[in-house]
A and B are shown apart, each in its own frame.
Chain A
């Protein structure tokens, strides 16, 4: 049952091969069996079985929605009414969300069953899931390795078949990088495509939610539910949502693929480069034409990102003050002591680093040199993409500089950790949609292929990913012990 696609699961439910309660129980027992991965922060088994029972009634009555009775899991960054929403932090360890996020509401309306809340880097700040207050998540392909981050629990759960699909969020690569390291399919939509309402904010001009699944076809079904205008999100895009599954099989004849030469420089691991070349050759067989393009300002994406993200983080996280919700220190002496100790005791080291960095970058006398400069660099990077998309339909490249690294390998050096996002963060600065799909293995660990499209081209990206997955079987590989 746990190797079925979303379409197969829906068919099984509709033809009464199995009930939603049976399906949900099967997944709950797999979650229990593989607790050692630490993919979940909260398993909402009671709620899940209650939702499954309702789904079975709807299925019997013949008024089922697209995902009725299908279990999914939510990244613990999305607020869920009545269920703990921790965002991977001690700060929100006692936070029972008083409302549902826009994304959660949409899944509820579509009839989905929520298995639980997935582990993540604290406040989505990390590239390895090691900054979580709830401990590191293990990569199902090699349990001594990280799953990537920040949506590490989502990627590990989907790869290990603990959930058929999950949600993630991507501020600098947090859907695509763990998808690559765990060998699954992840899609970061265009900024504004998916509602940010109730999605705990890290860097508001970069944050975007999206689907994490085992195939492009499944990701299309999830995105169909997630995408659309939300008046409660002030930057939500009021743009029509196409049928993402309708064009999955369209021909790639004449597709113009751009290869940014800066993505294939000497710093890229040789065996990863070879894996990607093979994927690109596969696309040529499918009728695509490959053109080299140049994006001269990409090398400044990391510094620009860390200024902007830290600045927005320091501002967003000022809401955690120990007054209205979340952690409060014991016996505060006065109001200042209450703020300083509540925040000091409940935030982890990486979150503190980014708050300090952002506070510094925004402080008097440094604003122009850091924040303003970063926003100008952001414009130049975005212009690089616009120039490329005047020539080509999509860009292909690596998602990560290497495969999954060992737990603890990069925790001592923040700069090394930041460099894990070197290929993904420019896309967030520009606000573009992009995917990571499995493209092979190096020494038994998965390698992701990055497909980057122009604004609101998710339909085309899913089509390009799906055609590759029809021609190859990398996405069908299962980590040992999880079949």
Chain B
């Protein structure tokens, strides 16, 4: 299994992850190698095996629908790159 430069660029865009043009070939090679390792799983017959998502096969715990946290907006926004009037600021999305 091997990937192309276009595959890597497409995946990087899906992940909104900038990768430098000069690094693309390295990622193509490394990811193709890792994919090769992963395809080893194909040798094993797993028909009918129930997928395991949680090590203890636990169900999601539920709790009463009550307020447990106070508003800490100011505290949490104090480490944000840019805020105004309690809102997070990003570049203009709609003109």
Contacts and interface: CB of A to CB of B under 8 A. Distances in A.
A334 interface: yes
B91 A304 contact: no
A303 B37 contact: yes
Interface string A413-446: 0110010000000000111100000000000000
A372 interface: yes
B18 A345 contact: yes
Contact of B51 (A238, A349, A352, A379): A379
B81 to A, nearest CB: 4
A471 interface: no
Measured as residues with beta carbon below 8 angstroms from the partner, the interface class of chain A is 35 or more
A377 B27 contact: no
Interface residues of chain B: helix, strand, loop or mixed (majority): loop
B58 A307 contact: no
B38 A359 contact: no
Interface string B18-60: 1110010001001101110111111010100111111110101
A357 B15 contact: no
Nearest to A431: B55
Given A191-B55, A379-B52, A380-B46, A341 B80 contact: no
B34 A235 contact: no
B37 A353 contact: no
Contacts of B11: 356, 359-360, 363
Interface in A203-262: 205-206, 231, 234-235, 237-238
B37 to A, nearest CB: 5
B56 A191 contact: yes
B44 A336 contact: no
B70 interface: no
B16 A336 contact: yes
Interface in B42-95: 42, 44, 46, 49-56, 58, 60-61, 63, 72, 75-76, 78-82, 88, 90-93
Contact of B15 (A314, A373, A415): A314
A363 B35 CA distance: 14
A134 interface: no
A94 B76 CA distance: 14
16 contacts: A237-B56, A303-B38, A304-B41, A306-B37, A306-B38, A321-B16, A323-B88, A323-B90, A344-B18, A352-B19, A369-B42, A373-B42, A378-B51, A378-B52, A379-B50, A380-B44
Interface of A: 94-96, 98, 191-192, 205-206, 231, 234-235, 237-238, 297, 299-300, 302-304, 306-307, 314, 318, 321-325, 328, 332-341, 343-345, 347, 349, 352-353, 355-357, 359-361, 363, 369-370, 372-380, 382, 414-415, 418, 429-432, 455
